[in-house]
A and B are shown apart, each in its own frame.
Chain A
Amino acid sequence: MFKKVKRRTQSRRNFDGPSTYLAGPANETILKEYPDRISFYKLPPLTEVTLDQFETYAIDRLKILIEISNLQNQGTNYSDLVKLMTERIKMLIPMHPLNTVEPEILLEERRKDHYSHFILRLAFCRNEELRKKFVSAETFLFKLRYAQLSKAEKQQFMDGLNVPWEEVSESEKESLKKELIVTHFNDVSIGIRQGTLGNTSTYIARKIADENDIWDILKDEKVSKLPWDNVPDLVASRKVVIKKGNAYVPEFLQMNLLANEYSKFLEEQLLITLRLLPGLDEDERLVPILDNLSKGYISSEFQSFQEGGDQAESDINATNVKQFEKFFPACARRLMDGLEENHHLRYAGRQQFTLFLKGIGLGPNESLKFWQMMFTSGSGAMSLEKFNKEYKYNFRHSYGLEGARINYKPWSCTMIMSKPKPNKQEHHGCPYRDLQSDNLTTLLKKMGMRDDGNLQKVLELSDSREYQAACTKVFEVLNSDNIQQNMSKGLSVMEVPITHPNDYFNRGVLYEKRLEEGAN
């Protein structure tokens, strides 16, 4: 497909390579168009590129965004993400400081960064999920690049944004010590725990940070002051110290502030791009490329589920589902508990749980039997007639036997997170996100967690919104014996975090099966 497209381009125009589109000496262009090696991408590129460049630019940036996005889905924390991505970014979409490489190379780099960003906007404006991922990955990229800037470069970038920052002197900072500590106590504590603040060698995540820890961090942070009305959001939420009309913003908030501005701006821009997209149809060369680009972005998600999906299939039926409960992740366990208690689940809960059960190998007929049994037996349960009339269709639909006949896939963590949060009578969602710590503790204890440091760690991870990390931790604790034995037999054990409830289930079953087989 691309070949055809390429021929057509060549017949229209003759491009010799990158140098043809340079207007004037490279250095001048750089200073004029790309003075900073970080950007809010406010202006789209105006000069022409070849279709080849269009594609390679886009693919290199796309690779980076996919990797970031996958790591984010796995609940990788910020500092690990930085470690893992820094080299990759340098390789694929590098941004050298001024005068460190040949001006022609520098200009090419900056153009590539500029064009690839705008090309991917076209590809990822198309639906909510794509937009969210794009914004989140691009925002990370922005933060990472911002953190790498030298002091002077940061200043230059800020100056370009017309924000009247002024660095606060040591003595002024010292005079605000008390106020700064109480105001930033929580943000800094979370930053320390997540590894975004302080250096990791003095990692003090195990204990609760005290005022001295907070001040140690704040002392090294550059604090700037500016008239308070420049940061209305920080003022409204009382996230900064305000004194005599100035807001005192530590550097870690500056980055967040810029990053927030940037993601807000990107979200708006993607919606604008979406509205303009129909106009692009005229250029039929671009549409297939864009289609392809956005496709590549989603595919990696369901792999983990499909790989292990077949192994457990055969031996599960309506009556023995309960026996497999020990392999259920917390979300499925919560749904099971809710179902047993109420002989009913609300809509979202039914969706999530039916598809989870489908994923562990419960066939359509067995599934219907299971739901019928759960809904109609026990005190206060509904009649069989009511079940057949009101719910049967619903379950058959999930298996693609009714309606549009779509074979729905079990929900991934991302999918679960994207749905509305459960209310009090509902049991769907992610327990690590949705449950208060006392209810979460009860659930985890039911699953077999003991009241020790591990449980505490899981609660902490949930607190700092690392839900998948919390889930993975629970898996490792509950399956620690099997994991140990597998390892001692030289069998491979998966180390990547869990990103799909069915992956949790499949791993558990796999480790146990291997041992059973070994024993027989």
Chain B
Amino acid sequence: MTTNDIENKENIEGKGKTIKLYRPTETDMRHYYENFLPFNLIFQWLNHSRIPNNDFTHREFAFEHQNGAYQRYNSFQDGTEFKRKVVKVNPTRFEIGAVYPIEPKNRKTVSKNLMKPISKEMVLDIDLTDYDEIRTCCKGTSICDKCWKFITLAIEVVDIAIKEDFGIDNRIWVFSGRRGVHCWMSDSKIRYLKENSRRAFIEYLDILNVKSKNKKGIFGMKKPYHPHIQRSLDILKEHFVDIILKEQGTWDSMESNKELVLTIPDLKLRNSLLNKWNGNPNMTSTDKWVDIGTQYQELSINSFDLVDWRKEMILNMLYPRLDVEVSRQMNHLLKSPFCVHPGTGNVCITFDPSKKKFNPFTDAPNLNQIFNQDELDWKNTSLKESIELFKEYVETFIKQEGHQKRELENESLEF
């Protein structure tokens, strides 16, 4: 089950430049479901073909009702029923789960042992809340241009690994509506992975070991770095000065002196740095970063390698922080693309980071804004770009899936 992301009104106004806010009403939602949400595309995307099959009919959907109740194990015959039910129930949002051996709505007619998931897309969840200890610009639910850069970088680092290392071609990124993104991977090989392989996949990517109790970060990493880590570092190091030292000014404050100093393994250097910094309240993060190098030289420190420490700091500050559980568990549900975030009114649109970097402040259509553009036709609204992108993606994917199926059938005929 997902955490119920019920929004707290006080959090809506953050310190940073907050995202356009509009709390959609029940009428808004019904109108949106009836006229805008591309149910048929979502059906095809989850069904992997145009003709309904088990991939869709045995698929679990969950509703979050307007009163906050959460209802699991819904399932539908086809895209039409899917839309009809959603419009009727009019949930604040709906989530997508796994494919089961039987239709989930009939789960009570069979033994519990049968209700083990067979397949599911692999998903990734990256959320700015996991960056709260690093970002200084915003906290909690608010985001701004500055901290969104963490997400943009995370997408870049992860997307290339998914594509180059794991060879996953069919993947789509989705804005979660407020402060994060999801990635859905649909290659047929990936959909049938067992949980231990899903765990391996996510552990391979999760170099910071986010869920570990040791919150001090990763230091003393094994050298030389694995190609994935080295490639990530090469991407991230270009942005460290701008994002961490300049924009975030992570170690500008006096309080953060100790935090930074504690990552340095040499006691002598630590004390010397702390003495100087505590006496100079005007030193910026950049000054301190440079000072570490200077004093390292002056004190002829040789108990650790400064270059290695710098690399590890860059990784600790900028490497993507992934929500491991969402990816690992097959029965985990995740909000569907094109749902509306109940707290912000933003549509969870799909995007392709290889074509264009996603900017939540300019690229995420808000319900309010869409209704102003056109009451009935998405083609006349700012949803157009995203729906067309999704349509193209689904069509290409289905074609490829069909080829694979035919190939498999031909192969089995040969025997």
A115 within 8 A of B: no
CB closest chain-B residue, reference A228: B166
Q: Provide the bound-state CA to CA distance between A238 and B199, in Å.
A: 13
What's the interface size class on A, roughly? Answer: 20 to 34
Beta-carbon contact of A235 and B164 below 8 Å: no
A227 within 8 A of B: yes
A370 CB, min distance to chain B CBs, angstroms:
37
Q: Provide the bound-state CA to CA distance between A229 and B196, in Å.
A: 9
By a CB distance below 8 angstroms, the chain B residues around A243 are: 164-165, 167
B204 within 8 A of A: yes
Choose the segment among A182-190, A343-351, A401-409, A479-487 that binds chain B (4+ C-beta atoms closer than 8 Å): A182-190
Q: Contact check: which of B197, B203, B222, B225 meets A229 at CB < 8 Å?
A: B197
By a CB distance below 8 angstroms, the chain A residues around B227 are: 178-179, 182-183, 241
Beta-carbon contact of A238 and B201 below 8 Å: no
Q: Provide the bound-state CA to CA distance between A179 and B224, in Å.
A: 10
By a CB distance below 8 angstroms, the chain A residues around B203 are: 235-237
Beta-carbon contact of B204 and A229 below 8 Å: no
B218 CB, min distance to chain A CBs, angstroms:
13
- Restricting to B170-222, which residues have a CB under 8 Å from any CB of A? 189, 193-194, 196-197, 199-201, 203-204, 207, 222
Beta-carbon contact of A233 and B200 below 8 Å: yes
B226 within 8 A of A: yes
A246 within 8 A of B: yes
B302 CB, min distance to chain A CBs, angstroms:
13
Q: Contact check: which of B168, B200, B225 meets A235 at CB < 8 Å?
A: B200
A44 within 8 A of B: no
A518 within 8 A of B: no
Q: A179-B227, A241-B227, A244-B164 are in contact. Are A232 and B222 (CB under 8 A)?
A: no
Beta-carbon contact of A183 and B166 below 8 Å: no
Beta-carbon contact of A242 and B189 below 8 Å: no
Beta-carbon contact of B167 and A235 below 8 Å: no
- Restricting to B217-254, which residues have a CB under 8 Å from any CB of A? 222-230
By a CB distance below 8 angstroms, the chain B residues around A244 are: 164-167
A442 CB, min distance to chain B CBs, angstroms:
14
Q: Provide the bound-state CA to CA distance between A232 and B195, in Å.
A: 10
Q: Contact check: which of A178, A227, A232, A246 meets B200 at CB < 8 Å?
A: A232
Q: Provide the bound-state CA to CA distance between A479 and B204, in Å.
A: 49
Q: Contact check: which of B165, B197, B222 meets A242 at CB < 8 Å?
A: B165
Q: Contact check: which of A227, A242, A245 meets B204 at CB < 8 Å?
A: A242
By a CB distance below 8 angstroms, the chain A residues around B167 are: 243-246
Q: Provide the bound-state CA to CA distance between A181 and B227, in Å.
A: 10
A66 CB, min distance to chain B CBs, angstroms:
36
Q: A182-B227, A245-B168 are in contact. Are A238 and B193 (CB under 8 A)?
A: no
Q: Provide the bound-state CA to CA distance between A233 and B224, in Å.
A: 20
Q: Provide the bound-state CA to CA distance between A67 and B199, in Å.
A: 39
CB closest chain-B residue, reference A238: B226
Q: A179-B227, A182-B225, A238-B229 are in contact. Are A245 and B189 (CB under 8 A)?
A: yes
A451 CB, min distance to chain B CBs, angstroms:
16
A484 CB, min distance to chain B CBs, angstroms:
37
Beta-carbon contact of B165 and A229 below 8 Å: no
Question: Mask for B124-167, Cβ within 8 A of A = 1, else 0?
Answer: 00000000000000000000000000000000000000001111
B386 CB, min distance to chain A CBs, angstroms:
28
CB closest chain-A residue, reference B229: A238
A488 CB, min distance to chain B CBs, angstroms:
43
Beta-carbon contact of B226 and A232 below 8 Å: no
Q: Provide the bound-state CA to CA distance between A178 and B227, in Å.
A: 9
CB closest chain-B residue, reference A179: B227
Beta-carbon contact of B164 and A182 below 8 Å: no
Beta-carbon contact of A242 and B196 below 8 Å: no
Beta-carbon contact of B224 and A185 below 8 Å: yes
Q: A235-B201, A236-B199 are in contact. Are A183 and B226 (CB under 8 A)?
A: yes
By a CB distance below 8 angstroms, the chain B residues around A236 are: 199-200, 203-204
By a CB distance below 8 angstroms, the chain B residues around A229 are: 189, 193-194, 197, 200
Q: Provide the bound-state CA to CA distance between A246 and B200, in Å.
A: 14
B39 CB, min distance to chain A CBs, angstroms:
32
Q: A242-B166, A242-B204 are in contact. Are A182 and B199 (CB under 8 A)?
A: no
By a CB distance below 8 angstroms, the chain A residues around B204 are: 235-236, 238, 242
By a CB distance below 8 angstroms, the chain B residues around A235 are: 200-201, 203-204
Q: Contact check: which of B166, B194, B199, B223 meets A245 at CB < 8 Å?
A: B166
CB closest chain-A residue, reference B203: A236
Q: Provide the bound-state CA to CA distance between A241 and B227, in Å.
A: 7
By a CB distance below 8 angstroms, the chain A residues around B230 are: 182
Q: Provide the bound-state CA to CA distance between A179 and B227, in Å.
A: 6
Beta-carbon contact of B224 and A232 below 8 Å: no
Q: Provide the bound-state CA to CA distance between A245 and B200, in Å.
A: 13
A223 CB, min distance to chain B CBs, angstroms:
15
By a CB distance below 8 angstroms, the chain A residues around B196 are: 232
Question: Mask for A163-189, Cβ within 8 A of B = 1, else 0?
Answer: 000000000000000110111011000
Q: Contact check: which of B166, B199, B223, B228 meets A232 at CB < 8 Å?
A: B199
Q: Provide the bound-state CA to CA distance between A237 and B204, in Å.
A: 7
Q: Provide the bound-state CA to CA distance between A182 and B222, in Å.
A: 10
Q: A229-B197, A245-B189 are in contact. Are A186 and B166 (CB under 8 A)?
A: no
By a CB distance below 8 angstroms, the chain B residues around A227 are: 189
CB closest chain-A residue, reference B227: A179
By a CB distance below 8 angstroms, the chain A residues around B168 are: 245
Question: Mask for A306-324, Cβ within 8 A of B = 1, else 0?
Answer: 0000000000000000000
By a CB distance below 8 angstroms, the chain B residues around A185 are: 223-224
B192 CB, min distance to chain A CBs, angstroms:
9
CB closest chain-B residue, reference A181: B224
By a CB distance below 8 angstroms, the chain B residues around A178 are: 227
CB closest chain-A residue, reference B194: A229
Q: Provide the bound-state CA to CA distance between A228 and B200, in Å.
A: 9
Q: Provide the bound-state CA to CA distance between A241 and B204, in Å.
A: 11
Q: Provide the bound-state CA to CA distance between A106 and B229, in Å.
A: 51
Question: Mask for A220-252, Cβ within 8 A of B = 1, else 0?
Answer: 000000011100110111100111111000000
A260 CB, min distance to chain B CBs, angstroms:
14
A36 CB, min distance to chain B CBs, angstroms:
26
Beta-carbon contact of A238 and B228 below 8 Å: yes
- Restricting to A110-165, which residues have a CB under 8 Å from any CB of B? none
Q: Provide the bound-state CA to CA distance between A167 and B410, in Å.
A: 26
Q: Provide the bound-state CA to CA distance between A232 and B203, in Å.
A: 10
Q: Provide the bound-state CA to CA distance between A241 and B231, in Å.
A: 13
By a CB distance below 8 angstroms, the chain B residues around A182 are: 224-227, 230
Q: Provide the bound-state CA to CA distance between A186 and B222, in Å.
A: 8
Q: Provide the bound-state CA to CA distance between A8 and B226, in Å.
A: 64
A436 CB, min distance to chain B CBs, angstroms:
11
By a CB distance below 8 angstroms, the chain B residues around A181 are: 224
- Restricting to A183-200, which residues have a CB under 8 Å from any CB of B? 183, 185-186
By a CB distance below 8 angstroms, the chain B residues around A238 are: 204, 207, 226, 228-229
By a CB distance below 8 angstroms, the chain B residues around A241 are: 227
The residue in A233, A235, A241 that gathers the most chain B C-beta atoms within 10 A of its C-beta is: A235
By a CB distance below 8 angstroms, the chain B residues around A233 are: 200
Question: Mask for A245-268, Cβ within 8 A of B = 1, else 0?
Answer: 110000000000000000000000
Q: Provide the bound-state CA to CA distance between A229 and B165, in Å.
A: 12
By a CB distance below 8 angstroms, the chain B residues around A228 are: 166, 200
B193 CB, min distance to chain A CBs, angstroms:
6
Q: Provide the bound-state CA to CA distance between A433 and B189, in Å.
A: 43
Sample (27) of A-B pairs whose CB atoms are under 8 Å apart: A181-B224, A182-B225, A182-B226, A182-B227, A183-B227, A185-B224, A186-B222, A228-B166, A228-B200, A232-B197, A232-B199, A233-B200, A235-B204, A236-B200, A238-B207, A238-B226, A241-B227, A242-B166, A242-B204, A243-B165, A243-B167, A244-B164, A244-B165, A244-B166, A244-B167, A245-B166, A245-B189
Binding site for A on B (CB under 8 A): 164-168, 189, 193-194, 196-197, 199-201, 203-204, 207, 222-230
Given A237-B203, A245-B168, 10 more A-B residue pairs with CB atoms under 8 Å apart are A182-B224, A182-B230, A183-B227, A228-B166, A229-B197, A232-B199, A235-B201, A236-B203, A238-B229, A243-B164
Please provide the 3 A-B residue pairs with the shortest distance between their CB atoms, ordered closest to farther. Answer: A245-B167, A232-B200, A244-B167
